[in-house]
Chain A
Amino acid sequence: MAEHKDLPPDDRELEEFLARRGELSRRYREALPPEPAPPELEAPIVMRARRELRRARRAPRRLWPQRFATAAAVLLVAGLAWMVRQQPLTTRSGAVIAPESAPSPPVQVVPASAPLQQQEQAQAAAKSQSPEVADASAGTEVRKHQQEQMAAVRAAAILRAQAKADTGLAQEQIGTAAAPSQPAAAPPAAAVAVPAPAPPAVPPPPPPAPVYSSPAPVAAPAYAPPPPAAAYLAAPAPAVAERAEAKPLAAACRAPQRAAAQRQAQPEEGLASAAWLQQIRDLQAGDPAAARAELACFVAARPGDVVPEDLRVLLPDAR
């Protein structure tokens, strides 16, 4: 009690309150009698507690099937993912390709007076390339090589163009390039639209590059890297018409490039007409213009083969 008296009044009151001896506690209990909880609340609370206990007893039995099912599903998904990851990409024809080998190469126009040497260089470069491009890495290398050749040809063409401009022969080239009805006397003396990264020589052998003077599709599978920008430098305004005309042909020859790349995967002798026609059918679904160009190549290369009826709609005569 001595300790109790030494405490400050507040602390003394607090100690008494905590011991339930305080005056305030007594007056609190007198003023506010103990109110019971509403009896109507008891029944639902007790029933809920019993229901929860029953549910808890049943729950463990249902967990096992769920766990097994979850584990089985996880294993199945993991196995499928692993299997898909292991399989290589293949085309319908069975050739293994990589995503890089199916692009649409740009098209460039070579004026009519493009030097024969330029064309021969391109064709020689195409032929010199290895035909064994069965896989994606080989196709990538081929395209890379072609681009390098194209750059070299471009540089040479620029130099020639500059030289000719000095001697005043540029206008003659323009006039010659603008002539719309120049027959394709020989492969070099023609304006052709060739895809830039032309694939190497393919079976059948690349046909001569014909002249095209109209928007009609041209059988021009010129599988040779083009001399590109130099032509524009040599023949400005009129060459614009050629470029405009070259675009549809370029579009038409893109597909041949892809198909040619695929054909390179097979031996030249082994490529059957049926397989070639099937490739044309595959192209027809996605790119009719390319399919027409490819069919034109087929007709030019295999004049003796009959075009199936379903593909005849692609022939120029069918329009």
Chain B
Amino acid sequence: MMYRDGDPLAFEMLYRRHKDPLYRYLLRGCAHPDSAAEMFQDVWAGLVRARAGYEPRARFGAWLYRLAHNRLIDHLRRAPRAPLPLEEELIPAASEHERPEAQALAGEAGLRLRRALQTLPVEQREAFLLHEEAGLTLEEIAEVSGVGRETVKSRLRYALAKLREALADG
């Protein structure tokens, strides 16, 4: 609200608080860093334009991820069959303090988990990421996705089951 009323510092505060989860949500939703960066900028630009219409009826996070959800869905509709990125791109750079074995295990598990995420249907993947990355509640996920609470629960059950199987195979 402070930013809506014209406080530029309020925007910077909001940006720093939500930028990383938002980026991960978009990145793991589409699995392409370039697309994720583009959507990331679009979401913030949309927020800047729509700030005058923000009403404090819901949490700012829910409003922000509603914009991100719409943008991600638009992207997936336009490029639904984009090829998955190379495995090397999926494995993040390991930290220096991690042991080689741990790095290998983490890399392999991370690879399987990313693949499993990408194989999930869009609705299930979104529900999982909105909670795991954005920290939204069931009701907020339902509002962002435009479906009912029970539908969100059902989607999460299926997503968890498939991810559990993917991690257990390893």
Contact = CB atoms under 8 A, between A and B. Distances in A.
Do A and B actually bind?
A: yes
A53 B109 contact: no
* Residue of B27, B48, B92 ringed by the most chain A CB atoms within 10 A: B48
Interface in B99-139: 106, 109-110, 112-114, 131-132, 137-138
A150 B106 CA distance: 109
A38 interface: yes
B89 to A, nearest CB: 12
**Is the contact region of chain A dominated by helix, strand, or loop, or is it mixed?**
helix
A41 B109 contact: no
Interface stretch (A29-37, A199-207, A210-218, A277-285): A29-37
Contacts of A34: 20, 24
Interface in A279-301: none
A37 B23 contact: yes
Taking residues whose C-beta sits less than 8 angstroms from the other chain, chain B's interface range is 35 or more
A42 interface: yes
Interface stretch (A13-21, A113-121, A181-189, A223-231): A13-21
Contacts of A24: 160, 163-164, 167
A46 interface: yes
Given A10-B161, A24-B167, A25-B132, A32 B8 contact: no
Question: Could you say which of B28, B106, B114, B137 has the most chain A C-beta atoms within 10 Å of its C-beta?
Answer: B106
Contacts of A32: 28, 92, 110, 113-114
Interface string B29-68: 0000000010011001100110110000000000000000
A212 B35 CA distance: 91
B75 interface: no
A168 B170 CA distance: 123
Given A34-B24, A35-B27, A56-B52, A42 B19 contact: yes
Given A14-B160, A28-B132, 15 more contacts: A10-B157, A17-B131, A31-B110, A33-B92, A33-B95, A33-B106, A37-B20, A37-B22, A41-B37, A41-B41, A48-B48, A49-B3, A49-B44, A50-B8, A52-B51
